[in-house]
């Protein structure tokens, strides 16, 4: 019997990933797949893959040849960008580990060989997910600009403040990169954080 892993992710704003797990358990049963691990992440989809503990755990199992198949609900669970998704799929494919995506019922390998239709669809799906995320970001920024034009105050209420310790706890990866000597601009890119936030962290830890 093949060994598989269920991999799910929800953003920090969501509370429950149990439904995803239960749905994928049903898939595993229909495919006679023995699930050896269920990995659940509660992390923003904007995080880079190297910052995602759950995904790194999945890849570690794959590299140790502990699994034959990965079950996910959507291809976007595997990365924040098209490139990251395809990198994960390529590594798993080279390791002869198939990825099954439930919402489209497609799989990367068929009888141990690449499924070209799946590869093409995954590229399109990953790109659509990236475009959707960028569109949402643009809408938010546009809304903020419109609010500023109308004279509305954005950010913390006047008179409120956040202490240094609480602020630094919110950006542990930024703190870590800066202490390793990585530049503020590169840290902002790696951590997907604004350069102003990184500079503020740098001022606090200097």
- Position 35 pLDDT exceeds 70: yes
Residue 11 tokens, joined: 């953003």
- Position 151 pLDDT exceeds 50: yes
Q: CA-CA distance, 77 to 101, in Å (whole number)?
A: 10
Per-residue pLDDT at 94: 92
**pLDDT range class, residue 170, cuts 50, 70, 90:** confident
- Position 205 pLDDT exceeds 90: no
**pLDDT range class, residue 184, cuts 50, 70, 90:** confident
Check: CB of residue 175 under 8 Å from CB of residue 168. Answer: yes
Enumerate the domain spans of the chain.
Answer: 3-128, 164-205
Per-residue pLDDT at 157: 53
Per-residue pLDDT at 155: 57
Per-residue pLDDT at 159: 44
Q: CA-CA distance, 40 to 19, in Å (whole number)?
A: 11
Check: CB of residue 87 under 8 Å from CB of residue 95. Answer: no
Q: What is the dihedral of CA 125, 34, 16, 89, to 10 degrees?
A: -20
**pLDDT range class, residue 148, cuts 50, 70, 90:** confident
- Position 156 pLDDT exceeds 80: no
Q: Bridge partners of 40?
A: 8
**pLDDT range class, residue 173, cuts 50, 70, 90:** confident
Average pLDDT, the chain: 83
Q: CA-CA distance, 157 to 31, in Å (whole number)?
A: 54
CATH superfamily ID and name for 3-128: Resolvase, N-terminal catalytic domain (3.40.50.1390)
Q: CA-CA distance, 149 to 65, in Å (whole number)?
A: 56
C-alpha pair distances (Å), 4 with each of 34, 37, 74, 102:
6, 7, 16, 14
């Amino acid at each position: 019997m093949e060994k598989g892993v269920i991999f799910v992710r929800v953003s920090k704003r969501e509370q429950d990933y149990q439904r995803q797990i239960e749905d994928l358990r049903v898939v595993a049963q229909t495919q006679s797949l023995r699930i050896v691990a269920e990995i659940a992440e509660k992390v923003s989809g904007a995080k880079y893959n190297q910052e995602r503990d759950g995904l790194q755990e999945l890849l570690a199992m794959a590299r140790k040849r502990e699994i034959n198949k990965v079950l996910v609900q959507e291809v976007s669970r595997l990365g924040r960008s098209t490139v990251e998704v395809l990198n994960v799929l390529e590594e798993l494919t080279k390791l002869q580990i198939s990825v099954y995506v439930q919402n489209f019922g497609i799989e990367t390998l068929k009888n141990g060989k690449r499924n070209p239709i799946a590869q093409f669809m995954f590229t399109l799906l990953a790109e659509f997910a990236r475009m959707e995320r960028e569109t949402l970001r643009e809408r938010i920024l546009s809304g903020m600009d419109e609010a500023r034009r109308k004279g509305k105050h954005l950010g913390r209420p006047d008179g409120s403040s956040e202490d240094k310790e609480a602020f630094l706890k919110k950006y542990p990866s930024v703190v870590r990169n800066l202490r390793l000597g990585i530049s503020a601009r590169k840290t902002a890119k790696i951590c997907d954080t604004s350069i102003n936030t990184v500079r503020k962290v740098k001022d606090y830890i200097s």
